[in-house]
Structure formats: C-alpha cells, structure tokens
Amino acid sequence: MGFWENNKWQWELSWVRTFRIRDSIEWEQLHPLLLQAPIQHNEKDSLVWTLSSNGEFTVKSFYDELYKDVTPCLGSLSRKIWSGLVPLRIEVFTWLAVQERINTKKKLTSLGIIPPSESGCILCDSGPEDISHLFLFCPFAMEIWSWWWNLWNISWVWPKSLAQALSQWIFPGKGIFFKQIWFSSFIVIIWSVWRERNERIFNSKSSSTRDIKTLVLVRLWWWVKSWKLPFLYSVEEVIRNPKCLQWGSSKAPKPKISHSHLKNIAEVGSCKLILRWVVGFTPFSPSNGADGGGIYSGHLRNNWGDTLCSFSCPFPPMNPENVAVLAIHRAIQISLSYGTAGVQEISINSDSILAIRWCLSRSDGPSNLSFILNFIRSTRQKLPLFQINLQSDSNAQIRKISEKKRFVFSDEVIWEKYPK
Ligand SMILES: [Zn+2]
C-alpha cells in the first residue's frame, strides 16, 4: 500500500494484473488525487464532509448540493409556475414536466413497462420520446415554437432541458401583460403538445400543427379571461390577429367591440367598475348653411379615466335642454343594452341643469319627451347606483373631443381601443 519515508507517506500500490490502456489512464487520474490527501503520521483517520464548512454532515448541505446540479432553477421556476396564470391542473402538469416526472415513452421503457421498440415519438416518428424531445426538439413541437417566435419577430435557441428552457423563457421587452402572456405561452404550448400526443396514442386522433396553433391561441385567450383584466378582444379577433395579445401596448390593433364586450368589462367585478358618461352636444355651424340642429354625443369612461365608448347622433333644431335629455337617454340605452351585471355604478355628467332636474323629478319636463324621461326615471329606480350629475364644462369637453373625432352625421357608436 505504501511506506513512510522522511515522515512523508509514499504510495506503493501493487496490482493483480497488468494495466490495460484504460487502466493506465485511470491510474494517471487517481495518482494526483491521492497525493492531494496529506496523511499524518501521528493522527487518527476521520471522515470529513466537505460540503459543510465544519466538516460535519448536514441534510441541508446534501440537499443544496443535490439540487444545485440537478435543476439549478427549480426554486425560481416554482414561483413562476405556481402564479395562478393558468388552471391549477396545468400548473401541476408543468411542475411535473420540468422535473421530468411525467410518463414519456422513454421513462416507461426505463421502468420496463413498454419495450424499447415502442419508445419512438408519435408526433414525428423519429427519436425516442423523452421530455426534451417531445416538448422542445420534436419537429412537430418545433413548428409550433417557430410560429410563435415568428409572430413576435424573435429568434430563440433551446437549452438542453425543459427546466432550463422555462427558466430562460423571459420576454425581452416591456409590458407586464405581455410578459404574462409570454410566460403562459410556454405552458400552453407544452400542454397542447402533450394533449395532442395523448390524443394520438389513446384515441388515435390527430390534429395538424395548424389546428394546434389555433388551439394555443384559444387556450391563451381563455386563460387570460380568468386574469380579471378588462381584456376586450374576442377569441375570433385573437385568432385572426394574435397581435391583439399585445393589448395595452401601442402595437395592439384596435378591437372591434361586440355586444359581449361591455359584458366582459362588467365581468371585471373585482375592479369595482364604474361607468362614467360625459354627454353634450355640438351645434352645426351656421357657416355650413345649417339651420340649427347639430350632433349630440357622449363618451364613456371607466374608473381609470380611459375612454371606452363614444356615440354621436344628429338632432334637428330644438332646445338645448331637450338635446341634453336625448344624450342622457342614449347613454343609458347603450349601458343597459349590454346588461349591468358587475357594473357597480353608472354616472352620467351633463351640463344642462334643467335636463338633469327633469330626469330626477317625478313628472317635470316637456310632454313630447315624457316617454324618454319616464324611461330614464324608471332606470334610476331600478339601479340604486345610477347618478346624473351636473358638469358645467361637459359641452366644452364634448366639442373638444368631437372636433378631433369628426363624427359622421349618423347614429354611431364607436368603441375605443381599451387603453393601457
Ligand atoms: Zn417527435
């Protein structure tokens, strides 16, 4: 084994057979390691745990060392995955997938459940189906990833493992909303690939990558709906133009608001939605040869002061108070036509004190407006948080906005882009 020479230990190892080339290489590696271990003449041998500073074994040091190498990012991934952006069962799926704990064919082969001959990927018919192949490198999955990257003009390179891929999956741009979309897109794509793989294996049904791309958008839209944000795009709009997902940034296209949209705003119950209308009118200019009359219009704003909707409608020559009543009536009609579930409050601001007095009274007002006034009164009774307020500069505001918008002279409701 060795001997002492001038108080220094010299190794002398004897071997039962002569070295092969591989043995010589190993010995060359072992010998310097042995020389690193100083052997003391007068001291007893002891075990030293090098992973802790005092040389003693602790479970924590062992755990830290294990996780340092296996998945360096599992802690931060855990926070990202369990953030409630996607349904719980899909969070569970993602959590298991990044730890390579879902039953891919390669795993089933290693457990002896299926023979190695059946371990091929069903999506591309090549390569053994393991986590990285299935979700990252399979040509089928890759086509979906490439499509997603191209949508946002981004090039991406995958690392080796799914966990590393997810830990690096950060959108290199601004905007909290799109960053959440970006993070969710990773999960929605691997989930969609997994579902497709299962459909093919267990139900013998297959979809094209084109179908899967649509499904990715549908699922994303569906999940975004649960984020309790006033995201106004319909699923059709998102499918037609995925740039809608950049909602809140200047790159997002203008949503075409359908009837369901105010309902969607209304569904944002936790935001305590208050719909505030400013109504007023702009008379036709006599220089255009107009003989009185004009356009009455209104702008709907949310709690944050963003304009959600505008309407405009021509009126014949009539008293300004009567026009104000028509404008208030129109604002109520639009609010009610979409239902009021979840809308905490509707408030309408007008600068006609007389019109407001008629609306708030039981029976005042011109007889030719009594039908409209009664409608306003009954709405007020049905909705306790319905107010009509005096705002002295509402007409000035309306004119300022209307000049910019150049309304056409027809009854028109324009839904605005939902701002940031
Ligand atoms: Zn494949």
Phi, psi (degrees; rounded to nearest 5) at 206: -135, 150
Alpha carbon of 130 to ligand 1 centroid (Å): 9
Alpha carbon of 101 to ligand 1 centroid (Å): 18
Alpha carbon of 191 to ligand 1 centroid (Å): 15
Alpha carbon of 183 to ligand 1 centroid (Å): 23
Alpha carbon of 112 to ligand 1 centroid (Å): 21
Alpha carbon of 240 to ligand 1 centroid (Å): 28
Q: With contact defined as beta carbons under 8 Å apart, do 163 and 71 qualify?
A: yes
Token pair of 330, please? 């129109």
Alpha carbon of 106 to ligand 1 centroid (Å): 12
**pLDDT tens, residue by residue, 217-251:** 999 988 888 887 777 777 777 888 888 888 766 56
- How many CB atoms are located within 10 Å of the residue 378 CB? 10
Q: Answer yes or no: is pLDDT of 144 > 70.
A: yes
Alpha carbon of 378 to ligand 1 centroid (Å): 64
Q: Answer yes or no: is pLDDT of 361 > 70.
A: yes
* Predicted confidence band of residue 288 (pLDDT cuts 50, 70, 90): low
Residue ranges of the domains in the chain?
2-69, 74-246, 259-415
- CATH class name, domain 259-415: alpha beta
Alpha carbon of 139 to ligand 1 centroid (Å): 6
300 exposed, middle or buried (CB, 10 Å; 0-12, 13-18, 19+)? buried
- How many CB atoms are located within 10 Å of the residue 370 CB? 13
Amino acid at 188: V
CA atoms within 13 A on the CB side of 41: 8
SS3 391: coil
Alpha carbon of 195 to ligand 1 centroid (Å): 14
What totals of helices (H) and strands (E) does the chain contain, helices first?
16, 8
Q: What is the pTM of this model?
A: 0.48
Q: What is the mean pLDDT of the chain?
A: 80
29-33, 73-77, 126-130, 292-296: the lowest-pLDDT one: 73-77
Q: Which residues surround ligand 1, an ion (CB under 5 A)?
A: 121, 123-124, 138
Alpha carbon of 125 to ligand 1 centroid (Å): 6
- Residue count (the chain): 420
First to last CA, the chain: 77
* Predicted confidence band of residue 260 (pLDDT cuts 50, 70, 90): very low
Sole residue written with tokens 């601004």: 174
Alpha carbon of 141 to ligand 1 centroid (Å): 7
Taking the C-alpha atoms of residue 78 and residue 152, their distance in angstroms, rounded to an integer, is 26
Q: With contact defined as beta carbons under 8 Å apart, do 179 and 152 qualify?
A: no
Alpha carbon of 209 to ligand 1 centroid (Å): 13
Taking the C-alpha atoms of residue 189 and residue 90, their distance in angstroms, rounded to an integer, is 11
Sole residue written with tokens 């001038």: 6
Which range of 64-78, 248-262, 318-332 scores highest in mean pLDDT? It is 318-332
**pLDDT tens, residue by residue, 372-392:** 899 888 888 877 678 888 887
